[in-house]
Chain A
Amino acid sequence: MAGVVNSVFARLDTYRRFLLDRWNLTLRATRTKAKEGREWVLRRFTAVRTQLRVVLLTWWYAHRRRAFWACCIVVSLAAAVLVTWQWSELDSYLSSLEKPVISELAIGVGAAITGIIAIAFSLSLFAIQQVADRGTPATVQAYARDPVLNVIYWILAVLATSCFAAALLKVATTYRTVTVVVGLLALILSFILLNIHFKRVVKFADPRYTVSRFYKQGEGQLKRLKMLRDSIVPKESRSSRG
C-alpha cells in the first residue's frame, strides 16, 4: 500500500515539476515575445517619426518661399479687414488728436521717403563705382540705365510727393484716416522698394551678373542680325516671294 502511495506521490511530484517547467518556459517565451513586440513598435514609431520629419523638412524646403508669401498675404488681408472693420473707431480716435499731428505725420513720411531716395541711391552709386573700378566702367552705365532701379526711384518720388501733398488737405475727419492709412502704407511700400533696390544693387556688384547681362545683350544683337540676314535676298527671289 505504502509502495502504491509512494509511487502516486512520486508521479504527482513528476507532474508538478513538469507543470512548473512548462509554466516557466511559457512565461519566458511570453516575456521574449512581449519584448520583441515592444521593440518592433518602438522601431516602427522611430521610423515613422523620421519619415514624417523628412517629409516635413523637404516639403518646407520646397515650399518655403510660397509659404512666406502666403503668410504675408494673409497678414495683409487681416490688416486690411481690421482697418475696414474698425474704420469708424479709427476716425473717432484720430478726431480726438490735435489738429497738426496728421499733417506732421504726412510731412514726416514724405521726408523719410525723400531721405531713403537720397541715402540709398547715393550709397549704392558709391558701391557701384567701386565695383566698376575693379571690373568694367560699363557697370555704372548699366546701373544708371537699369529700368527696375528707375521704376523704384520714380515710385518713391511719387510717394514722397503724394505725402507732401496730403499734408495740405483740409482737416476733415475722413481725410484724416485716409491720410494716416495712405501715409503708413507709403512708408511700408518704400521699405519694400528699398529692399528690392538693395538686392538689385548687390546683383550689380556681382561681376557674373554683368557677364550674363552682356550675354543677353549679345543674344539680342544676334537675333537682330539673324533677322537682317533673312531679309537680305537677291531681287529675283524677293519678287518671286512677293
Chain B
Amino acid sequence: MPDRGMAYTPEQLRASVYRDRPYIFNGLRHTLSELLSIARTYSALQKYEVTLNALNAIAKLLAGYLSIRDGDLMMPSSIHAMFGPTEFEFDTVLTEALEGISELNKASIRGGDIQLSLQIIDILEYLAIQSVGIHALFARPDENPTTAFIRAYMLGPVQDGAVRGQDDVIMSGARALSSIAKALLRKNQYLTVRTSIDELEKLAYFGIAQRKAHVTGTPVKGIAEILLVAVAEPIAERHTIHSALLAEQRICEAEMQFKSPTLDQSLRFALGAFLDMTQPTALANLEGLAIQGLSEAMEKHDLVKTDAYREVIRELNDGLWQHFVAIGVAAAKTESFALFDINSNISEIARQCLWLLGLLSRTKPEPIDEASALERRLHERFEADILKELNWIVGATYWRIFDALQPPVKTHVIWDFFPTLSHIGIQALDANVPSVAESAISELKSMALRAMEKPVESLQAAARIAAFVARIGIVALKLGAQRIVDVSIATLKEFQPRYLRKQREVEPEAESYDATLLNEIEDFKSELGIERWLIDEEDASFFGRVIPEDIDRFVALL
C-alpha cells in the first residue's frame, strides 16, 4: 500500500524502474550465463570440483540478487493464480538462471549422472532457504512465492529421477524439501509449508510404488521433522500440523496395502520416523515434547508460550484418534507389525495426557481479577479438550482396528492391545479421570463381544479379553472408585450370558460348560503367587498392587 501523500511505495517504484529498464541486469545475467556454461561444459567431462565451484558461485550470486530485490521481486502469488490474468509476470533473472539449472539437472538425470544432480539439488536447497526471508512485491504474508518457484524447479527433475529409479536423487530431494519447509515454518509461511508437505507426500509414493523402504522413509522422516519443528518451536497455525498428520496417515495407509513379513525391518525403515517409538520424531514423542514444553512454560509463567503450546497440543490431538484408526485399519487388513507401533503410541500418548490432566488440575489459576478469570476459563477449556480427545483415543480406536482384522485372526500383536487398555484404565483411576477408565472398559467390552463372533485363536480368547475389564474393576474396588466398579461389574454381567449362549451354539450337545471368565479371574490369584523377575509395566500396574482377597471381593460382587 502506498504511503500517505506518496504515489508509490519505494518497493513499487523500484519494481517499475526494473521492469521498464530490464537492461540494468544484463551484466549479471551474462555472468550467470557464463557460469552456467562452465558448469554445463565440465559436467560432460565429469569434472565435479569445477561444476561444484560454478554451481556454488551461481547460487551465491542469485542469493545476493534476491537480497537486493527484497520487497520488489516480481513473483505471482496464490491470489494471482486464482484471480486475474492467466499470464504471469516472473522475475527474468531468476527465471533464466533456474531454467538453465533445471535443464542441466534434467540432462544429468537423463544421463544417469547422479553426482551432478545431487550438487544441483544442494545449491537449489541453499537458494530456496536463502529466499525464505525475501519478500515478493505481491504476496500474502503467509506464503513465499519465490521459495515455491525455486522449489518447483528443483522438484521437476527430482520426480524425473524418481521415475527412473534414482534413489539418491529422490532421497536428496526429499531432504532438501524438508529443510526448506522447516525454514519456511520458522518464518510462519504456512501456505508454502503445506505445499511442501504435499510434495514430500508425492515423493513417498514413488518409494511405495517401487517397494523401496529407504526411499519411502526419507520423505516420511522429512514430514515428521516438520512436525517436530512445529511442536518444538511451537508453531500452531493454519493447520500445518493437521496437514502433516494427514499426509503421514495417507502414506502409512498406502504403504500398508502391501503385506510384509512379521518383524520385517523394511516397515521400520519406511514408517519408523513416524511410528517407531525409539525415534525422536515418533508421534508419541512429539506429544511428549509438546507437553514438556507446556509444563516448562507454565512453570516460568510465560503466558505467550503457554498459549502457543496449548494450541500445538490441541491441534496435535484434534482428530488424532481418526489417524490412528485409519492407520490401524490399514495395518489390520494386512496384519502388519505396525499394529504394535500404533498400540505403543496410544499407550504413551494416554500416559502423557493423563499426566498433563493431573498437572492442569493442580495448576488451575484462581480467579482473582478479570485477567486471571479469563486465564482460568482458557485453562479449563483446554483441560476439557484434552480429556475429550483422550476419551476418543482410548475409547474409539481399538475396536475399529479389531473390526478390520480379517477372520481367522492370526496375528499375535493384538494381544498387546488388551493389557495396554487395562493399564490405561488403571492409570486413569490413579489420575482420578474415571471417564477414561470407562472408555477403556467400553473398548475392552466391545472387543470381547466381537471376539465371540470373530474368534482370536479360540472362543476362550473372548473371556480372556473380558478378564482385562476385571483387572480395572479389581483395582477400582481397591481404590474405592465405586462408579468404575459398577461399570466393570455391569460389563462382565452383560458378557457372561452372551458367552454362555455362544458356548451352547458351538457345542449344543455338551453336558456342562466351562465358566471361562471366572476361571480367568481366578487365575490372577495363582499368577500373584508366582515370583516373576521380569514383569512389564502393564502387568506390574495390576499384580503389583492387588492381593488375592481383592480378587475374591470382586468375584463375590460378580
- Residues of chain A having any CB pair with chain B under 8 Å: 134-136, 138, 207-208, 210-212, 214-215, 217-219, 221-222, 224-226, 228-229, 232-234, 236-237
Question: Given A135-B42, A236-B5, does the pair A219, B34 have CB atoms closer than 8 Å?
Answer: no
Query: Which B30-69 residues have a C-beta within 8 angstroms of A?
Result: 31-32, 34-35, 37-38, 41-42, 45, 47, 49-50, 53-54, 57, 60-61, 64-65, 68
Nearest Cβ distance between residue A192 and chain B, in whole angstroms? 31
Q: List 8 A-B contacts (CB under 8 A).
A: A208-B53, A211-B35, A212-B53, A218-B35, A222-B28, A225-B68, A229-B14, A233-B10
Partner of A222, one of B5, B49, B61: B61
Interface of A is mostly: helix
B555 within 8 Å of A (CB atoms) = no
Nearest Cβ on chain A to B332's Cβ, whole angstroms = 57
B1 an interface residue at 8 Å Cβ cutoff?
no
Chain A proximity of B463: nearest CB distance (Å): 77
Closest beta carbon of chain B to A147's beta carbon, Å: 19
Of B25, B32, B34, most A-chain CB atoms within 10 Å: B34
The distance from the CB of A220 to the nearest CB of chain B, in whole angstroms, is 9
* Across the A-B interface, the 8 shortest Cβ-Cβ residue pairs: A215-B57, A218-B31, A218-B61, A211-B53, A221-B27, A222-B64, A207-B50, A221-B28
Residue B6, interface by CB 8 Å: yes
For B47, the closest partner residue in chain A by CB is A207
| Cβ-based interface call for B13 (8 A) | yes
Closest chain A CB from B56 CB (angstroms):
9
- Determine whether the beta carbon of A222 is less than 8 Å from that of B68: yes
Interface positions of B (Cβ within 8 A of A)? 5-10, 13-14, 17, 24-25, 27-28, 31-32, 34-35, 37-38, 41-42, 45, 47, 49-50, 53-54, 57, 60-61, 64-65, 68
Complex Cα distance A236/B9, Å? 11
> How far in angstroms is the closest Cβ of chain A from B279?
41
Binding site secondary structure of chain B: helix
Contacts of B53 in A (CB 8 A): 207-208, 211-212
State the CA gap A217–B8 with chains docked (Å): 33
| Distance, CA A136 to CA B37, complexed state (A) | 7
**A208 CB to nearest B CB, Å:** 5
Q: Are A214 and B13 neighbours in the complex by a CB distance under 8 Å?
A: no
Query: Which residues of chain B are within 8 angstroms of A222 by Cβ–Cβ distance?
Result: 28, 61, 64-65, 68
Q: Of A208, A215, A217, which is within 8 A of B50 by CB?
A: A208
Interchain CB contact (< 8 A) of A207 among B14, B32, B38, B68: B38
Let me know if A219 and B41 touch, CB within 8 A.
no
Among B5, B24, B61, B65, point to the contact of A215 (Cβ < 8 A). B61
Among A208, A212, A219, A221, the most chain B Cβ lie within 10 Å of the Cβ of: A221
- Chain A residue nearest in CB terms to B41: A135
Residues of A within 8 Å of B64, CB to CB, are 218-219, 222
How many whole Å from B46's CB to the nearest CB in chain A?
13
User: Which of A135, A138, A210, A218 has its CB near the most chain B CB atoms (within 10 A)?
Assistant: A218
> Would A234 and B61 be within 8 Å (CB), given that A134-B41, A218-B31, A221-B28 are in contact?
no
The chain A residue with its CB closest to the CB of B35 is: A214
**Alpha-carbon separation in the docked complex, A229 to B69 (Å):** 8
The residue in chain B whose Cβ has the minimal distance to the Cβ of A209 is B53
Residue of A nearest to B16 (CB): A232
Question: Across the interface, which residues of A come within 8 angstroms of B38, CB to CB?
Answer: 135-136, 207, 210-211, 214
How many Å from the CB of A36 to the closest CB on chain B?
56
Complex Cα–Cα for A15 and B64 (A): 99
CB distance from B531 to the nearest CB of A (A): 62
CB distance from A130 to the nearest CB of B (A): 13
Nearest-CB distance from B248 to chain A (Å)? 42
Residues of A within 8 A of B24 (CB): 225, 228
With both chains docked as a complex, state the minimum distance between the C-beta of B128 and any C-beta of chain A, in angstroms.
19
Residues from chain B with Cβ under 8 Å of A229 in the complex: 14, 68
Tell me the nearest residue of chain A to B37, going by C-beta.
A136
State whether A236 touches B25 (Cβ < 8 A). Answer: no
B17, A232: Cβ atoms closer than 8 Å? yes
Residues of chain B lying within 8 A (CB to CB) of residue A207: 38, 42, 47, 50, 53
In Å, the complex CA distance between A226 and B70 comes to: 11
Contact (Cβ within 8 A) B10 A136: no
What's the Cα separation between A198 and B57 when bound, in Å?
27
Do A225 and B31 touch (CB < 8 A)? Answer: no
Q: Do B6 and A234 have beta carbons less than 8 Å apart?
A: yes
Chain B residues with CB below 8 A from A214, complex form: 31, 34-35, 38, 57
Alpha-carbon distance between A219 and B63 when the two chains are bound, in angstroms: 11
Residue of chain A at shortest CB distance from B69: A229
Bound: A134/B45 CA distance, A? 9
CA distance A34 to B61 in the complex (A): 72
Partner of B31, one of A221, A228, A233, A237: A221
Task: Identify which of B9, B31, B42, B54 contacts A217 (C-beta below 8 A).
Answer: B31
Chain A nearest CB from B111 CB (Å) reads 19
A134-B41, A229-B14 are contacts. A211–B31 as well, Cβ < 8 Å?
no
How long is the Cα–Cα vector from A217 to B61 in the complex, in angstroms? 10
**CB within 8 A of B35: which of A215, A219, A225, A226?**
A215
B93 smallest CB distance to A (angstroms): 10
Select from chain A the residue with minimum beta-carbon distance to B7: A234
Instruction: List 6 extra interface pairs beyond A212-B53, A229-B68, CB under 8 A.
Output: A207-B47, A211-B38, A214-B31, A214-B57, A218-B32, A225-B65
B68 cross-chain contacts in A, Cβ below 8 A: 222, 225-226, 229
Nearest-neighbour CB distance to chain B for A236, whole angstroms, equals 5
Chain A residues positioned under 8 Å from B13 (CB to CB): 232-234
A232 touches B14 (CB 8 A): yes
Bound complex: CA of A222 vs CA of B62, how far in Å? 10
Chain A nearest CB from B130 CB (Å) reads 14
* Nearest CB on B from A69, distance (A): 30
Shortest A189–chain B CB gap in Å is 35
Q: How far is the CA of A211 from the CA of B38 in the complex (A)?
A: 8
**Bound complex: CA of A57 vs CA of B32, how far in Å?**
45
Are the C-beta atoms of B10 and A208 separated by less than 8 Å? no
Contact in complex: B42, A215 (CB < 8 Å): no
What B residues does A224 contact at CB under 8 A?
27
In the complex, the answer to whether B6 meets A218 with C-beta atoms within 8 Å is no
Min C-beta distance of A200 to chain B, whole Å: 19
Are A136's CB and B28's CB within 8 A? no
Q: Flag if B28 contacts A225 (CB, 8 Å).
A: yes
Residues of chain B with a CB closer than 8 A to A208's CB = 49-50, 53
Which residues from chain A contact B60 at a C-beta distance below 8 Å? 215
Residues of A within 8 A of B35 (CB): 211, 214-215, 218
**Nearest residue in B to A137 (C-beta to C-beta)?**
B37
| Given A207-B50, A211-B50, A214-B57: A237 in contact with B41 (beta carbons within 8 A) | no
- Minimum CB–CB distance for A128 against chain B, Å: 15
